[in-house]
Amino acid sequence: MFSPQKKPFNVQLSLLLIFAVGTLTLSWSGFFDTATDEFLDEALLGSGAIYASARAINAVVSLLQGTEVDALFLTVSIGELLDPINDLIERFSGVMMIALGSLAAQKILLELVSHTFFNIVLTLLGVVAITSYIWGSMRFFSATAKLYLVTLAIRFSLVLAVLITGWVDTEFLQQSESANHQAMQEFHADLVSIRKGVTTSTELSAEIVETKESVATSHAALKYEQNLLKENQQALINAEQHLIRIDKRTLLEKLWRVSTKAIDQAKEKVSELKRKIKSNETSIRAHENRLKALQESLNCLHKKNAGGYCSTIDRIPTKDAMAQRIELLSNQVTDFASNAINLLVSVLVKSLILPLVFFYTFFQLFRLTVRSI
């Protein structure tokens, strides 16, 4: 790329300046950092929901251990039938913890490399490299340029890897992952239905009352969170307008992060409100999901109390067609195992495999660039 014996022409100096200013602008602006942070937050939330569903299935299967039903002339243990699922869920949960740990580690590392101190170090190295190119020896320039590129690789390799992983997830993995997770939740609902298959009318009435109370509580919590979100959104608009009014810096001052105490406080207020809004939105989604699940459970309880059914399994008579019920449950076990494996592979690909592959690729590209200097 550059010879250590002879200085390049001015046009190459211009290219160096454009490259340095461009990369430093990207580093200080945090444009990529925001996108990667949002993807990791969503990935952690989604993976956490999958892990919670798996543990819920494990809990129901544990309750069904030892339960026996009469199927024609045979006595069948539902616990034995679900033993493979119990083993699969245990392993599934263990691998999901690794995936969640990987996502959390990526989030921590991204916070480190996007910190202001890291940007300051990168800026100083860039200034030293350009200065040595203009006034120093080419040998010293080569050394400082390599150090700048290595630091740049550390700064952006993981960011770019997570960004591309997010794109792959959105385009190729998200839809099938959602479908498999939905199938897992439906399997959990069927297991709960089996466990409650012998619930008495008195117990149903008590459960209906309890569920109604939970619905009312969840609805109140949702309403409170929605109101809080509106207040924070309005406060954010006011804070951003206030920041615009007091921020009289030039474009160059903004680029190099020249600031005042009042501007820093206003920026911190905006950032704090954005964090609160994101927390509000996450809580609202959680309350909405819980409210939806409670409402479905309440509708199911009303149907049962009226002599109706909630699922296909409920429609099969307990005594006369128990063999069919066991066969249906066996088919569901097979389908669940297939869905769980597909879901696990999808989560591992986006949380561990793809980030490592892309990170390695980008780092090697930077490495080749450094060698050419």
Domain boundaries along the sequence of the chain: 1-198+333-373, 200-317
Q: What is the mean pLDDT of the chain?
A: 80
pTM score? 0.63
Residue 314 has pLDDT above 70, yes or no: no
Angstrom distance (rounded) from CA 51 to CA 89:
10
Residue type, 279: S
Q: Residue 70: what are its φ and ψ, rounded to 5°?
A: -90, 120
Angle formed by the axes of helices 31-64 and 138-168, to 10°? 40
Which tens digits make up the pLDDT trace of 176-228? 888 888 888 888 877 776 666 544 455 567 777 888 888 888 888 889 889 99
Structure-token pair, residue 256: 């190099």
- Ranges of H-type helices in the chain: 10-29, 31-64, 78-81, 83-113, 116-135, 138-168, 174-195, 201-246, 251-255, 261-305, 312-315, 322-348, 354-372
Other CB atoms closer than 10 Å to residue 50's CB: what's the count?
24
Which tens digits make up the pLDDT trace of 69-118? 544 444 455 667 778 888 888 899 999 999 999 999 999 999 999 888 99
User: Residue by residue, what is the 3-state secondary structure of 148-172?
Assistant: HHHHHHHHHHHHHHHHHHHHHHHHH
By C-alpha distance, which of 236, 222, 244 is closest to 276? 236
Angstrom distance (rounded) from CA 67 to CA 76:
9
